[in-house]
Structure 1
């Protein structure tokens, strides 16, 4: 869909055309057309048609023929809020179970079928809904409908106790890895428990309590499925290069015979109501004390929600916000923010701050400053720019949200599920356009000012003296002996579909769609920047990626973090404007400018509505050519970097990556994290940053990639004018990788306190990256070992053993060197067993090689995935960045396709023998020493403690 460039006022003034009538009787069963939404071409909106099957399934179809792919989403209106006391985590458990096969899809085949079709897939659960989705080449649509229908209507009879047990272990692993072993991981769980009354649908975590998960039985799960997973409680949304009249018969064929489930009524809106502040606290394995304040407000879709969002923006979004100015700028906090989080039944207004240890402030002091900020809003009022910034942001977000078919389908599914109105863009834009200063001040006084909330303190272990106040609230917890209530899940009958076709036969995909590689044009700017661009007229936007050869590898080990600090300083004050003024100007344009450093480049990512491109690029020139390098900005960023690194040193994955890199790269800059080390950051000065900028931050040799709805004649003059006064060439990169001699077939153990999980890295030096050479061949070889969800490693450690939430292996590299790495975060009690399984899978693959079936699976999966590679501007930027990096034309994609088709079993097996010798690998383990050392000793490897 092509959109013209409109102002926000114009967008909101245009109406939306819609009609409702019965669809053509030639369609199966005369499927009723509930609504047809076909707005004018110049309106920011998502066209769709909405239907309803006789069994209650809502079907939404959005036609978008810009790319030969389709996105299929099934959203069930069931999340953790539909669960019962003592039975938490059921909806999330089903997110796992429904990938385990169904009556006509074998165990562990769902992922394999979608991957082999060249697609991607996943599922997500929150308090209010669960969704399952996949993006595939359009010729695979029927197969996706067959898959989704099979688990909707033919799931329960296929569930085995073994599948149940494995996924129960996997869910517990996920909770351990993503909640219990993550810094501040239990924050939301504790706050929700204090915010909502005992038994409120939001009072337990989506992932569930561990005790509830342990008590769960397969009978419980089956009843939960029968209650909530009927077609009348689901929305099927299909978007992409489809024809509605061809899709509907397929939908009717696969979903039509599935019987309705029990009727589902809307839950009552139930924002929390507190009579006084509730203070709670916890010690955690963290470095920085955190204060989190949460105040109940309204619910999703409430008319006051947009004004509350603007209020949160004023208080805590960006460096113009009150909290940034009062806490972060004076270095009282490392980070501070505010937000307004909405769910179906309730919303909360939140404020948080990570206290800066050097400031010597307790969380009580931080709370006092936050409350003073709240009080100051009455005197400050609401400024014109507060409202204009919010309106610009919602306009830009609405347009950028149309860049992918998955993004559009997600919006349609969400809005239908909760508001029965699939496309709400016009309404949302209008609601923000109508907000006044009085509206914001009214909601401020009504919902936030002096209103009670939950105040959570999270402090490092042994530092309870830092909490904001003594706990005055203890939540009631579930007692299975006492809290017994009548269940709504009892004795629901099984439902069986009656088909007039053989559902056990998987549909055959049609011919692969023609893939259109982006057509590019190129030039070189007078200052030596190489430009590669493509026209993309799906949305009126422009995305730019500027790469300047000044990355981490230009720094010595003693300078580690210098490039990253320069990138951060580029978003601070300039010679003519404060950082706040630059940020406000970008916000009012709805534009984004981000700077970051990687190994070889400092990257500037620029995203803009094309109508605002020239104004955005004027700001980019100011940022790049006239940085102020103020001492106060540097000192603040330096302290934030130090505290951020201290925080990262509490994270097992960060520690494992650090130790692994040091073993692989020794004393080289490549061994050190891009952010730097505590020593290098502390020794850095603003003069170092200035000197590095003057020496290295030069345009010659740089690369500029552009994706825009502007044609070459329209865009090239804009780019030629960009940075015309910027001249010079930085020093050449003098960098060589020499892998140190380390003891291989050895376990290197890093101790981490109070760790319920262990982080494992297994690997060795490999080969530099290329596009079509041996490196690429090695990635093909690894695909079935650890490169896909249903790879040997992941199926073993996650699906068969239940040791981890996920395990994988991969080849990584740049033009200098590369690595082969296998990794997972596993339960501490199975650390040694996990290493044993890793080594078994790698050794077995090396000795026995790839099977003919696996080889064909790899070929199908990789070649058919090409339809998904160029859809969004971001994907196109990445694709073209590769072309510039390797001085290649787009023909490399065809060379890769031919390589995938022609690579032999013998070549795959040769590469496996060459790069998968575990005797040449190191094993890094980050975990609690007392828990894991006795296990590791049983493996028989030498152990070196780092």
Structure 2
């Protein structure tokens, strides 16, 4: 969850608050606590709040703009409720809550929601755990039935086998996101040094492996009984519903669940450090890291917002001190500051990744000099304005989905007791002053001590910032009072049969967004749609070419990406910093980036500031400065990023996989970022020539979605007539490599905690209503859904991975079919066996009747979620203009899905799953995994991280 609560509300107008405190009770004894409506000029999320007799808080936001509903159940329990020796329980239980309950079968939660056309997940942080689903509004009762069943009827379904499988899954998650990821242990190391031993923030949410190994199923059940009662939860429902409808269903499904033990909010003092605590560790990284962390203020405290502003001035964006002093001067690849705040405390952190030629000790010195510079220069009026506008606009830009609105209400209720905290939150950000910032600087940073963490490449322990001077001290720790003895599991008594899954209401009517098309005199195609739910405009500019153009001269591979980076810098009129400042004050963003066959520009603006934003877009698009200093810095950063790829197993796996699929001589076999040799040869003149030759109106498309109309936006885009339309020759696709038989290609990564697996072949180009679309339907049950055969096998049944799947990824050019996962090292060979077994079985035996019905239902009903936000509409329109799709293609897809037969699916599987002609790429610890791989019957070929034979 973002540090700032992710707000989401409709903003047809800035409207205000009418709070009607209610004390009446309905006949069912459910209390209406308050009703908030729009009135006046304030900004609010309308809702009604109720409390059931068992203590469950129910919040309902009514929004009929789209036929969807979002259900969120937030429990006020995270890792901060855990104890020494039992870390990771809250997160572990998040996994267990998806494993079935008395009336919901094993793995059925994902299946039921997916089959209903919905999406779902859960998340855990220090302070809360939430479970949520977005689905068509006719499935509301099903969602509430599922959530209530795991709240009140879970524990008898928690078996030792499920416990062990999910313990393996959590270990895999830790391996993937912490142990096997560069800098993955930074947060764990810094937290243990910052907080006293036993403080619940001194460990991470994922927990320690030894605690996961030590815990047993009864420990986990006790954790549930203590914290997962309705009186420690908030049920928030938003979307195409009514309060009366939601309350009635909440009473039915949640009302009989008994109240749990009382839960009190916790308050702990922030740690006070008596000296700078230097700690360090070695990691498989290229860039060393310096991180300085100062204890700061909790979330929603008066000091939180000024600390946020302080972090922005010191280290956020191109106008920050750290960027100016460290990044711009080519001393560091990255340098930033942030102030993440949680319920029990905050952490003001400064992080620097220097170039390998710099020392961490020098970085610490430069950071301290930057702090002194801030003391002297203070806060400018410009910085204050940028911060306030950027904050409010950043929130507005997320205010487009019912999920966002619902999540905001849930979080505000959980942490403040007031779902209507949005106006207060906005008020405190608007009210922050320069004096506030200097006050918190003096209170938390100036002359204060920090945890100073050094992460250094393996074998370079001597390069730390300073010698370690701190070790965790367990003395003085007093275990808290036992909260788990005497807990009993008392199931609810019902007057209905919970085993009967609720029937769905009538299918909602889903309307494909209406759109318009136009064209500029110089050939730029434009497609647009009005979306006035939020007062913003989103633009996507797509220029054909990208990495594919580099086939003309592969010795300059990476030039498209470097050119896009240069277009994010200075224009002829403004410096990069000036453009960044203007955009922040407008609440806008403009970003250039290059992909495999497109260069793209993404523009986001408040509707009222669109003219000024487009003026800056014109500057960057048509009048780039191409400054030599900017080029030198970006080229150096690119070269270091290329060198750094060897430390990232997933990147290595994907690069080697592409090299094998496309083959030598194919530009797509080279990463779009380029190679050390190719980027090293690129000059600024090369970039200018690439821009002049290929950045052309003749190969450009534009998508416009937002609070504007065709007749309004087209005159604003008149500047595009100045964009020269030049002939751009897009190279033809080179023939990919052939695969004579399935082989394993092994890349060594010493001591890797996990192995990265990629399996596949070169398959199909995109076709919205042809073979490609049908093949996607075929693959859905094999590897496209959470409850696909591949994921259920490798994750849920075997516990080998945190997640596994497969899919097709074609564009105008044929793209690969890929099955992939990160798996535990000791099951690398077994994982390959299971991948290939599932693919082969599906190819030979095909789909079952039940699976086909599931696929049709899941894909067919998902349309309700496709067009809700501006970005979703923009992506939809982008496909229409890119692939020249006709207006009726969605209906054609629906007809194909409805009528596709089991025989057709089976024929597609037989045709498009050539198990005997696939590449298998594995990046892992050769010493540990090669012997097992050699026993599988495939030829094992060793290659380096560039895909070259060893």
| TM-score interval (norm. to shorter) | over 0.9
Question: Structure 1, residues 798-856: CA drift from partner, whole Å, max 9, x if none?
Answer: 01111111110111111121221111111111100000011111111111110000000
> Helix, strand or coil for the counterpart of 2:435?
helix
Question: Which is further off, 52-61 or 699-708?
Answer: 699-708
Q: Which residue of 1 aligns with 2:5?
A: none
Secondary structure at 1:649 match in 2: helix
- Which residue pairs with 2:947 in the alignment? none
Aligned to 2:208: 209
1:544 paired to 2:539? yes
1:298 maps to 297
SS at match of 1:840: helix
Match of 1:898 in 2: 895
Aligned-residue offset at 1:642: 1.5
- Residue from 514, 518, 521 that aligns with 1:519: 514
Given that 1:44 and 1:399 are in contact with CA atoms closer than 8 Å, whether structure 2 keeps it comes out as: no
Distance 2:202 2:390 in 1: 32
Aligned in 2, Cα 1:727/1:301: closer, same or farther, shift over 3 Å? same
Question: In 2, are the aligned partners of 1:743 and 1:922 still within 8 Å (CA)?
Answer: no
Distance 1:191-1:384 versus aligned 2 partners, 3 A rule: same
Deviations 1:696-732 (A, max 9, x none): 001123111011112232223223x232311222412
Q: Is the 8 A contact 1:737 1:816 kept in 2?
A: no
Q: Distance in 1 between matches of 2:440 and 2:480?
A: 38
**Per the alignment, do residues 495 and 776 of structure 1 end up closer, same or farther by CA in structure 2, a change over 3 Å counting?**
same
Contact 2:519-2:526 at 8 Å conserved across structures: yes
Q: 1:764 to 1:428 in 2, by over 3 A?
A: same
* Aligned-partner SS, 1:201: coil
Is 1:871 paired with 2:868? yes
Give a deviation string over 1:460-514, Cα, whole Å, max 9, x none.
01112221100000114699xx987653112301121011110110001111100
Determine the structure 2 residue equivalent to 1:833: 830
Aligned twin of 1:113: 112
Gaps of 5+ in 2: 1-8, 944-950
Match of 1:718 among 716, 719, 742: 716
| Residue 385 of structure 2 corresponds to residue 388 of structure 1 | yes
Cα drift, residue 300 of structure 1: 0.5
Deviation at 1:2, TM superposition (A): 5.2
Q: 1:534 is matched with which residue: 514, 525, 529?
A: 529
Distance in 1 (alpha carbons) for counterparts of 2:223 and 2:475 = 20
Among residues 618, 622, 625, which one is paired with 1:621 in the alignment?
618
SS at match of 1:919: coil
User: 2:287 is matched with which residue?
Assistant: 288
**CA separation of 1:397 and 1:93: change in aligned 2, threshold 3 A:** same
CA gap of 1:526–1:478, structure 2 versus 1, over 3 A, is farther
Unaligned 5+ segments in structure 1 are 7-13
**C-alpha displacement at 1:438, in angstroms?**
1.2
State the partner residue of 1:686. 684
Q: TM-score, normalised by structure 1?
A: 0.97
Q: 1:673 matched to which residue of 2?
A: 671
SS at match of 1:512: coil
Counterpart CA distance in 1 for 2:904 and 2:918 is: 22
Tell me, what secondary structure is at the counterpart of 2:732? coil
Whole-angstrom distance in 2 between the partners of 1:418 and 1:647: 40
Q: Does 2:569 correspond to 1:569?
A: no
The CA RMSD measured in Å over matched residues stands at 1.5
Q: Give the corresponding residue for 1:238.
A: 237
**Residue aligning to 1:10:** none
Q: Note if contact 1:22-1:31 (Cα within 8 Å) is conserved in structure 2.
A: no
Of 453, 469, 472 in structure 2, the residue corresponding to residue 456 of structure 1 is 453
Q: Give the aligned partner of residue 97 of structure 2.
A: 98
Q: Which residue of 2 aligns with 1:740?
A: 737
Q: Does 1:642 align with 2:643?
A: no
CA contact (8 A) 1:278 1:471 kept: yes
8 Å Cα contact 2:268/2:344 also seen in 1:
yes
Q: Does 1:52 align with 2:58?
A: no
CA distance in structure 2 between the aligned counterparts of 1:613 and 1:423, rounded to whole angstroms: 30
Q: Corresponding residue for 2:21?
A: 20
Supply the distance in 2 between the matched residues of 1:325 and 1:660 (Cα, whole angstroms): 39
**Cα offset, 1:45, TM superposition:** 2.1
Worse-matched range after superposition: 319-328 or 16-25: 16-25
Please give the per-residue CA displacement for 1:499-535, whole angstroms capped at 9, x wherever unaligned. Answer: 1110110001111100011100110012211110000
* 1:340–1:853 distance in 2 versus 1, CA, 3 Å: same
Q: What residue number does 1:34 align with?
A: 33
Q: For 2:338 and 2:195, locate their aligned partners in 1 and report how far apart those are by CA, in whole Å.
A: 19
Give the conservation status (yes or no) of the 8 Å contact 1:20–1:35: yes
Whole-angstrom distance in 1 between the partners of 2:765 and 2:835:
24
Cα deviation, 1:546-578, whole Å, max 9, x if unaligned, reads 111231111123222111111111111111110
Which residue of 2 is the match for residue 124 of structure 1?
A: 123
Contact between 2:193 and 2:470, CA under 8 Å: does it hold in 1? yes
Q: Deviations over 1:346-386 (max 9, x none)?
A: 001110010111xx321010000001111111110110011
Taking the aligned partners of 1:50 and 1:790, their CA distance within structure 2 comes to 35
1:709 aligns with 2:707: yes
Distance in 2 between residues matched to 1:788 and 1:890, nearest whole Å: 28
What SS is found at the alignment partner of 1:888? coil
CA 1:898 to 1:644, structure 2 compared with 1: closer, same or farther past 3 Å?
Answer: same
- Asked if 1:769 is matched to 2:778, the reply is no
Query: Alignment partner for residue 846 of structure 2, among 849, 853, 861?
Result: 849
Deviates more, 1:483-492 or 1:411-420: 483-492
Aligned to 1:405: 402
Report the secondary structure of 1:724's partner residue: helix
| Residues 388-397 or 551-560, more deviating | 551-560
Relative to structure 1, the CA distance from residue 655 to residue 520 in structure 2 (aligned partners, 3 Å threshold; closer, same or farther) is same
Instruction: Indicate if the aligned counterparts of 1:184 and 1:284 stay in contact, CA closer than 8 A.
Output: yes
Asked if the contact 1:786/1:794 (under 8 Å) is kept, the reply is yes
CA distance in 2: counterparts of 1:824 and 1:723, whole angstroms: 44
**Partner of 2:886 in structure 1?**
889
Separation in structure 1 between the aligned mates of residue 539 and residue 683 of structure 2, nearest angstrom: 31
Q: Deviations over 1:12-71 (max 9, x none)?
A: xx863211114673xx51421111111237543211111100000001101111110000
Q: Which moved more, 1:31-40 or 1:531-540?
A: 31-40
1:312-351 mapped onto 2 (5 Å cutoff): 312-351=311-350
CA contact (8 A) 2:16 2:37 kept: no
Counterpart in the other structure of 2:252:
253
Q: Distance in 1 between matches of 2:229 and 2:83?
A: 19
Report if the CA contact (8 A) 1:552-1:600 is conserved: yes
Encode CA deviations 1:678-705: one digit per residue, 9 max, x unaligned: 2211111111110000000011231110
Aligned partners of 1:250 and 1:318: how far apart in 2? 47
Looking at structure 2, the residues matched to 744 and 292 of structure 1 have their Cα atoms a distance apart, in angstroms, of 49
Give CA deviations for 1:439-467 in whole Å, capped at 9, x if unaligned: 11111111111211100000101112221
Tell me if structure 2 keeps the 8 A contact 1:18–1:39. Answer: no
Partner secondary structure for residue 196 of structure 2: coil
Q: Distance in 1 between matches of 2:404 and 2:780?
A: 28
Match of 2:309 in 1: 310
Corresponding residue for 1:558? 555
Q: Is 1:224 equivalent to 2:219 in the alignment?
A: no
Distance 2:643 2:80 in 1: 37
2:698 aligned residue: 700
SS at match of 1:46: coil
Change (3 A) 1:484 1:583: closer
Q: So what's the TM-score if we normalise by structure 2?
A: 0.97
- Asked if structure 1 preserves the Cα contact closer than 8 Å seen for 2:43 and 2:422, the reply is yes
CA gap 1:449/1:478 in 2 versus in 1, 3 angstroms:
closer
1:435-446 matched pairs, under 5 angstroms: 435-446=432-443
